[in-house]
Structure formats: structure tokens, C-alpha cells
Structure 1
Amino acid sequence: MEQEQQLSTRWEGYVDWRNRAAIRGRHGGMLASSFVLVAEILENLAYLANASNLVLYLSQYMHLSPSKAANNVTDFMGTAFLLALLGGFLSDAFFTTYHIYLISAVTEFLGLIMLTVQARLPSLKPPTCSPDSLNNPCQEVEGGKAALLFIGLYLVALGVGGIKGSLPSHGAEQFDESTPQGRKQRSTFFNYYVFCLACGGLIAVTLVVWIEDNKGWEWGFGIATISILLSIPVFLAGSTLYRNKIPCGSPLTTILKVLIAATLHSCMTKSPSNAIASMAPTPSSPTTTSKAIQEGNATEKEASTADDQDQAPTQSLKFLNRAVQVNNPAHKALECTLQQVEEVKIVLKILPIFACTIMLNCCLAQLSTFSVQQAATMDTKLGSLKVPPASLPIFPVLFIMILAPVYDFFIIPFARKSTKSEMGITHLQRIGIGLALSIIAMAIAALVEIKRKRVASNSGLLDLKEPLPITFFWVALQYLFLGSADLFTLAGLLEFFFTEAPTSMRSLATSLTWASLAMGYYLSSVIVSVVNDVSGKYSKHKWLSGSNLNHYHLERFYWLMCVLSGLNFLHYLFWATRYKYGPGRPNK
């Protein structure tokens, strides 16, 4: 009796930091996840302290052109987020999210040390030159100095990717999804995860950016290094409270096995119903496996097969049903259970939603590149205080910090009462709101750029690199709308991927959120290159080329982004209205 009671208190499939069975009431919960949230504040501070201002560092100190600096920033940020897939994969397949975070934090720490040393020593940077030397461009960073710069940057990217791929899942795994209270707490966690991202970002784009601009970049990199170092003991402080999901093996192996098996079996079987028919048990003649289960002597594999026989395959993506061949599989290594097939179906169904968010993140990429350069040409004084252009993200950050608690304490309870559903606002609805806001943001960005260039022309400063008599608060409008879009979409995507994905693939699926960011940054670089190539063929000047931003046709680029975002929103509506949530989740 005591043994049965002890087993009932264990978290099945979870262990503590010493690899012992996790216990209900002792491991997991809001207290455990709070250590994750604090660690995220410190980690995002370290990342954004440099990413938000990096375009100016590359252009002013490494002497890259504005467009080249912008592309390098988007490539760096895109790589960091794309590597989240690696962190998620390793968390699901071989290590726990607990270990992946620690390894990744150390990796980012090493990269930041390299960048700090380079920023501190003049011999590791290209020679300084006068910003007025328009006819004699400054020498770009090259050789060993460039190697040091990019090795440091991409070590940071590797660390950031591992952290983004493991930390959100680690926090979400602390809640019991079998109870309504646990699911509500998990939803709250994702909301406050974005809130903590904003908290770290607030410190980064105010205090750290000011220090970088006024005290030197070695101080900015140094603060980021200390921040990521402090996040490690903070995370470790919650070790005795965490419950860690046991790795279930490579999810990619399962996906590939099902796809290959379905393809081969479709060539071997004339009728798609044969595979499923071979699974159907006959009432008058129970299978040997069923008898073994009744007698309690079945192996785990036989039990899984019997469970599959008692279930009917779903009718969506029928092609994959052919992967299940009980009597005559193409090869023993390609034996697939119905559960594996259904898990792969879930993954394939969420991919269109993932694809539809890439364009939004392409718009967000502009906040770290052209928007910062726009603000750098404007009047950034706030009274007697001169605000660094890279501190502009303070506007969306503050709005996220205000909106996140309001959303959790007021909007969601009201929505739950109105819709009489557990969620109130579904994940897909949140994502859709974010996509719609991105369209508005790009239209506003285009109008602001038209006004900025008109002021430059009327003031006779179009050809000069001098601050324009127009306040940088105009650029803050596009930050505000894109920041709101980021709150709705990021929190919605994280929870959507985590809750919809199979348990064995949750870290990898959650990493798709960051992969979407990565693809958005890469897409931004591609669009900039394509726009320059096309505009260079049909006009005298490329839209986004040169050393003077006033000669760019940035407003046309923003209008193009607005149109593409609108088309993407229609694409999203097509898939979102057809998507059906998993069992126990709302379809409305």
C-alpha cells in the first residue's frame, strides 16, 4: 500500500537534478519556475545589451557601411535564434533542459569575454578615422581582427540559441498539465516569460546602451559578461525544486522514420487501407499480443502495438497512415506505431503556423537595424538628456511590461467569462492579433520616414550627416506597434508550440518560435539584397545603398514590407481557420 502511494506521488517521466524520480509537491510549481524567470532577465540583458546597439558598433568602430552593418546584425541575430533548434533538439534527445541551459550559458560567457577584450584593446580594432572623411572611407575590420570579432559574436549566438531552446521549455515543464490550475499557471508563465524578456531588455537598452555610448564598448560588453555569469548561480539555486523531463530519444529520427516508412509502404501497397486493415483486430479471434496483455506477460512493444490496435487513425494527412504496417513492414527498422504517426502529424500541422510568423519577425528585424539608424539622424535630446538611438526599444519594452500584467489580470479573466472557455483567447487568436499589428507598424514606419526626409530636404541637411530638427519620438511609433505585435505573437507561439506538440518533442517544437525569428532576420537580409539588386537595374540609385541614410528610399522599403505583411496575414488566416487543436483544447 505504501509502495503504491509512493508511486502515485511521483512525476512520471521526470527526474530531479540528481536523476532521482521527481515527487509531486516537492518538485515543480510556480516557485521553481520563478528561478527560470529571473535567469531569463539576466540572460536577455546580456544578449540585448549588445544586439540592440550592435549596428552602431559595427558601423562606427568596425567601419562597415550602414547596409553591410545591418546585414551582419540580422545574420548574427538570425543565427542565434536558429541555433535554438539545436538546443531544443539536444534537450529532447540526449540531455535535459537543465543541462543544456548550463552548457549554453558558459558558451555565451566565453564569447562575451572575447568581445570585451577586443573592445578594450585598440590593437585588436581597425584604425580610427574621422567621420567627415566622406571621400576617404574608413578601413573595414579585416584579417585576424575580423576573425576575433565574428568568432566572439557567433560563440554568443551559439550560447543564446541553446538558452532560448531550453529555458522556456524548462520553465513550462514545472507545471502539471493534467489539472486546469496547472494549465492556467503554465499560461501565466509564458506571459511573464515575455515580461521578463522585456525587463532584461529595459536595462539593456537604457543603462547599458548609455554606458556603451558614453563610457566605451568595453564597459557594455563587460556588463553583459557579468550578467550572463550571474545567471548561472541564480539558475542553479532552484536545482532542488526543478523537475526535469527525461530525454526520449531523437524526435527527428521518429519524424524521418515515419516519412520514409509511409513513402516505401505506399509503393508496396496498392490500397492505402491495407495498412490500417492489417491493424484491425477481429472480435472473434483476439491476437496473440492481446492475450499476452490480458495475462500480464506482454512486453512494452507488444503493449504499444495493442494500444494502437484499439485506436483508429485520424483521417488528416492520410498518407502517413501507410507508415503503420504490423504484419509486413518494409524493414524492421521502419516499424512505426500509430502513436508515432499521430505525433508526426501534429508536427506537420503546426509548421504552416510557424511559416506564417516569419514575415512578422522580418518586420521586427528593422527595429535593430534601419530604425536605429533613422533615430541616429534625428534630434535625440530629451530636455538636457541626450538619448542614445539604440535606447529606442525602451518604448515597446515599457509597453510590454505594462500590457503583460494587464493581459493576465484583466483581459484574460474577462475573455474567459465572455467565451466561457478555459483559455479565453486562443493561441492562434493572439498570434493573429500580432500579425495584424505588424501591418499597421510598417505603414506607420513608411509615413514617418517620408516626414523625416521631408524635414531633411527643407532644412538643407539632405547631403550632410548632421542631426535633423525632428524629434526621435516619431520613430518610437513604429517601435510601439511592433512591440505590441511581439508580445501577442511571441507568448502565443511559445504556448501554442509547447501545448500542441507531443511530449517527446516539446523543446524542439518550442524552439520553432525562435527559429521563426531567425528566418525573419535572414529574410530581412535577403529582401534588402533583392531590393538593391532590382532597384539598381531600374533606377540610378539603389533604394538601400550608400553611406548616407538620407539618400536611401527607406519609405519604399517599408511600404513593400507593409504589403508583404498584409499578404502574409491572409495566408495565416487560411491555415488558422482550418487548424484543429489537440484533445482537450479549444477550437474557437
Structure 2
Amino acid sequence: METTQISDDAVAVMYGTVDIHGNPADRKKTGNWKACLFILGSELFESLANCGMSTNLVNYFVDRLHEGNATASTNINNWSGTCFILPLLGAFLADAYWGKFRVIAIFSMLYLLGMVVFTLSASVNGLKPSCSADGCHPTTPQIGVAFISLYLVALGFGAYEPCFSSFGADQFDETDDKERNKKSSFFNWLYFTSNVGALLGSSLLVWIQNNVGWGWGFGIPTIAMAIAVVLFFCGFRLYRFQKPGGSPLTRIAQVLVATFTKIKIKVPHEKSLLYETADAESSIKGSRKLEYTHELRCFDKAAVPIDSDNIRGTPNPWRLCTVTQVEEFKAVVRLLPIWATGIVFSAIYSQMSTMFVLQGNTLDQHIGPNFKIPSATLLTFDILSVMFWVPVYDLIIIPAFSRLTGHERGFSLLQRMGIGLLISIFSMVTAGILEVVRLDMVKKHNYYDLKTIPISIFWQIPQYFLVGCAEVFICIGQLEFFYDQAPDAMRSLCSALSLTAMALGNYLSSLLVTIVTDVTTRDGKLGWIPDNLNRGHLDYFFWLLTVLSVANFLAYLWIAKWYTYKKVTASQA
């Protein structure tokens, strides 16, 4: 995309960005890294809260809510999926009506409220399940309070998350070369900061949950979330705000309706014959004009003017759309196949909080004779991998490859995500090999009823480390790709798309577990994933995910080959 270098003396940020008072944002006083320090600080504590709440949740469901392995795994996947499908709601409200700041403010409060109630359900007598030597015995109301509070967390997190990353990126003006490069680095460091918080959440807080108690284990993340909310509001005078552009779903519907009503109209070869406003600015509030592209030409019918398109001399938006509006729709359509390829990786990612933890429960968790490491704490090696690879990628790989390829960021975003998908295949292969070795020892030594097999849990490190490496390439690449390729007035919505891939990945994992359990437990068989994994075949489940990952990677290569990048008109680039 072409850019224009703006003088340091320029005051207003381009294409409608304003300050907290609604005035054009002063480039020297708002935005940039000074505003993002509050955003990164808030992200640190929010990720600590989120990871501290969710990392060990499968064990809470098994130990306190008295669920089996398959049921607990399914419930966690469904909850996680809901967390990542609700971003569509927050993104729609942000892009259409409220703006990102207001959505973050409202839903962060709901997020915090849900965490408070869930902490009370795990710590207050009457709300928490009663436990004795023969296990815990939760009542239906107690289970209900726990699930209601968790889904309130899902609502708050879901609406908050896509707006937060997109709002942070809004602090950099992509029409300025210097700020555009800083924006690209922002996504890397946002993810790095998120993982610093997650490191504390998946190590120290998991230990507290297992050794001190669930009340403190969930109470500390709740306090962290309160700090995150306060930090975010502290920076409000420094932020840049983009005005909402009206309902993106309405604009999409208008293109579809206009196309359908003109289904028999032939699209002219000359793009100058298509309808576009004469003004330099787009008719869509807060959005720049987009250049015409030749792909998906069937939707160009919506921009072909005919006599019946006008009502009292004014174009009917349900009959005639501008080229920019049509191109906005095309940009979203082009994103969908790329988005779909992220679903299988998300299913792999979800294994770290479900099957990897259950596999780790069967391994020797001791460090020395007296200290025992919780299996969920192994997630720290995924986080350490991310914390290792983010600075290596941003400070070493990008400069090195930019000199070789001539690309300013070393790789294109599509290449970056493809590398991540390839690495994710090896993470599943590694997990499968470890399970084969574990089951071979069980069979060889008749360890079927042994709770822990004499194999160190640290043999799980490679699979966590590889998932972390894949994250740096895929997840950060998706954050930047969906923000960069989204039309200006749809950025929250398109950022939410990358998160809904996480949702569908969790649902896919849940569906696979349900199908596998149903199919493999027929005729009295124990199945692949019984409560006693020594008598199951978890390795088969990992091989199934490996096959899906290979097929997904091949599909991605074909899709990426034909992708066309968004182009802003030269006068506004």
C-alpha cells in the first residue's frame, strides 16, 4: 500500500481521528507509544487475570464440580468457544454505534463482575461445593452460579477483546511511514505483554490454586482484572478515537440486495462507468475510498447506475452502492477463506488447556523428592516460547529477512501465517509420539491402573514450545492481517473474525471429542479418551488432529496464492 510521509509539524491525524473532546487529534499530544503504554499495561494484567482463571479450569471442573475428563474437556471447549464467538457482538457495536472506547469501558466492567461472582462461587460457604474424603458434591444451584458467572466472563471478554487490540492499533497513523512501522511492532509487543501476564497466571496462580485454595487462586486474577480496568481508564486523555461508521452489516446487506436486484445487468468493462461519489472523502464515515479490483466482479452490479436507482434525485442505497462500498464488501469476502484456515490451528491451540493437561496428569510431576509441579503449569513453556520468539522475530528475523527479500517486515503477513501453520503440524506430531511412548510403557510394565507413569512431565515441553512458536507466526500475523486488510470502518468486526476462528476451533475440538467418544465407546469399549487414559488411545486423537492440520495447511497454500490485498485510493493512501 502506498503511503504519504507527513511532516512532524502536522497537527491533525488523518481520516477523522479525534481526541477525547471530539476535536481533531493532535499528533504530538495523542496516540503513539505514549498512549499505548497504558494499553500494554492494561493488557498485562488482563492476560494475567484471564490465564489465571482459565488455565487450570479443567482441573477445577474435575475436582470441584465432579465431572469426568471428557465432560470437563467438552465444557471447557464450549466455554472457550463462546468467549471467542462473542467478539462479533462487541465489534459490531464498536464499528456501528458506540466506538471502541465505549465498548471496552462497558464490557470490561461485565468481565470484572463475572470474575467476582465466579470467585465467590469457589470460596464462599453455600456457594462453593462441599467436599469430603470421598470427593466434592456440588448442588445444581452451585453449578448454575459457577456457569452463569463464567458465561458472564465470556460475554465481557468476548466483546472487549477485538476492540482492545484494534483500539491500540488506532493509536498509530498508518498513512505515515514511521507510525505505520510502529503499528506493526505494536502487535508483536501487545502479544508479548499478554504472554508475560499469562506466564504469571499459568505458573504462580496455578500453584496457588492447587496448593493454597481455589478462593485465593481465583481471587488474585479478579484483583488483576480490576487493575487492568483502572490502567486503561488512566490513559483516556492520550488516546485517539475513530468515529463509528454506521452499521457494517447494513452496508453488506445493501450490496447483496443491490446485486440481486440487478442480477441480469451486465457489468461495464470501464470502471469509470461505476458509481462513486465525486467528493475526495468516502461516503462512509471514518473510512477512506478503496480502489476498484477486478475480482468478484459479480458484486460490481451493485455499483452499476440505472434510471430506477434514484428516489427524488437521490441514489437509493439499497439499489445503488458506491465502488468503495462494494470493495468494502469484497475485502470482507476475501478475508473469509484465510479466516477459515485458522480454525484447525485454534483446535490445536485448545489442546493446551484440555488434552495436554490431562496427558500431563498421567506423567511424573515431581521436581526432586518433595516438590510437585501441576500439569497445567506446563503452559508456561508455551508462553516462554512466545516471549522468546517475539523479540527474536521483531529484532533479528525481520531485519535479516528484510534485507534478503526487500519486504519491509521480512515476510508478507500471508507468508508469516503459513510458516506458523507448518510449525503447528509438528506440535501435534510431538504430542502423539510422547503418547505412543507413554502407552508403550503402560503396556510393557502393566501400568494400566497406575495413576502416574514414571515418565517426566517435562517431556511435554517440546509440544508446548512448538505451539508457542506457531502462535508468534499465526496469531500475531492474524491480528495485524485482519486489521490491515479490513476496511477502515470495519476494523473491529474484522479483528473479531480472527477471534471467532478461536471460537470455532474450540467448538471443533469439542465436536471431535464428542464424536470420538461416541464412536469409540460403542459395544462396551472404553474408547480413545476414557477417565483412565492408560486404557485409552489419546495418541489416536493427536494423529487425527495432525491429519486435519496437514490438509488445512495445503488448503491455506492454495488460498494464499490467489489472495488480493486491499488498496486505498492514491489520493488518500
Say whether residues 1:271 and 2:255 are aligned partners: no
For residue 570 of structure 1, what is the aligned residue in structure 2?
554
Q: Cα offset for 1:179? A: 2.0
Paired residues of 1:28 and 1:241 also in contact (CA < 8 A): yes
Identity over aligned pairs, percent: 37
For residue 125 of structure 1, what is the aligned residue in structure 2?
128
List per-residue Cα deviations over 1:317-367 (Å, max 9, x = no partner).
011001114333568240311110011101100110000010001011111
Paired residues of 1:434 and 1:488 also in contact (CA < 8 A): yes
CA change 1:151–1:371 in 2 (3 A) is: same
List per-residue Cα deviations over 1:172-202 (Å, max 9, x = no partner).
0011111221111011000011101110110
Say whether residues 1:555 and 2:539 are aligned partners: yes
1:354, 1:581 → 2: CA distance?
15
Paired residues of 2:12 and 2:24 also in contact (CA < 8 A): no
Q: Cα offset for 1:300? A: 8.4
1:486 maps to which of 471, 492, 513: 471
Paired residues of 2:275 and 2:323 also in contact (CA < 8 A): no
SS in 1 for 2:16: strand
Paired residues of 1:275 and 1:322 also in contact (CA < 8 A): no
Q: Cα offset for 1:84? A: 1.4
1:407 maps to which of 393, 397, 400: 393
2:512, 2:283 → 1: CA distance?
50
List per-residue Cα deviations over 1:496-522 (Å, max 9, x = no partner).
011111100011111111111111001
CA change 1:345–1:386 in 2 (3 A) is: same
The one-letter code matched in structure 2 to 1:232 is: V
Q: Cα offset for 1:540? A: 2.8
Q: Cα offset for 1:129? A: 4.8
For residue 421 of structure 2, what is the aligned residue in structure 1?
435
1:246, 1:424 → 2: CA distance?
33
CA change 1:477–1:301 in 2 (3 A) is: closer
The one-letter code matched in structure 2 to 1:471 is: S
Aligned pairs for 1:76-87 within 5 A? 76-87=79-90
The one-letter code matched in structure 1 to 2:357 is: V
CA change 1:369–1:569 in 2 (3 A) is: same
2:240 maps to which of 217, 240, 243: 243
The one-letter code matched in structure 2 to 1:235 is: F
1:184 maps to which of 165, 169, 181: 181
Larger Rg: 1
Aligned pairs for 1:332-347 within 5 A? 332-334=316-318, 335-347=320-332
Q: Cα offset for 1:533? A: 2.4
Q: Cα offset for 1:421? A: 2.1
Paired residues of 2:291 and 2:567 also in contact (CA < 8 A): no
Paired residues of 1:358 and 1:517 also in contact (CA < 8 A): yes
TM-score, normalising length from structure 1? 0.89
CA change 1:10–1:213 in 2 (3 A) is: same
For residue 286 of structure 1, what is the aligned residue in structure 2?
none
Q: Give structure 2 stretches of 5+ with no counterpart.
A: 1-7, 311-315
Aligned pairs for 1:57-456 within 5 A? 57-130=60-133, 139=137, 141-266=138-263, 269-273=264-268, 279=274, 313-329=292-308, 332-334=316-318, 335-383=320-368, 384-456=370-442
SS in 2 for 1:409: helix
Paired residues of 2:434 and 2:460 also in contact (CA < 8 A): yes
Paired residues of 2:275 and 2:321 also in contact (CA < 8 A): no
2:53 maps to which of 45, 50, 53: 50
CA change 1:577–1:207 in 2 (3 A) is: same
Which segment drifts farther, 116-125 or 30-39? 116-125
List per-residue Cα deviations over 1:81-108 (Å, max 9, x = no partner).
1111222221111122222112121111
2:317, 2:385 → 1: CA distance?
53
List per-residue Cα deviations over 1:413-433 (Å, max 9, x = no partner).
111111112221111111111
List per-residue Cα deviations over 1:522-556 (Å, max 9, x = no partner).
10001111122232348833222x32122221000
Which segment drifts farther, 481-490 or 55-64? 481-490
1:170, 1:277 → 2: CA distance?
35
2:428, 2:408 → 1: CA distance?
34
List per-residue Cα deviations over 1:207-233 (Å, max 9, x = no partner).
111111111111011111101100112
CA change 1:127–1:299 in 2 (3 A) is: closer
SS in 2 for 1:146: helix
2:275, 2:98 → 1: CA distance?
37
TM-score, normalising length from structure 2? 0.91
List per-residue Cα deviations over 1:263-302 (Å, max 9, x = no partner).
1210xx3434399786489xxxxxxx97xx7xxxx99869
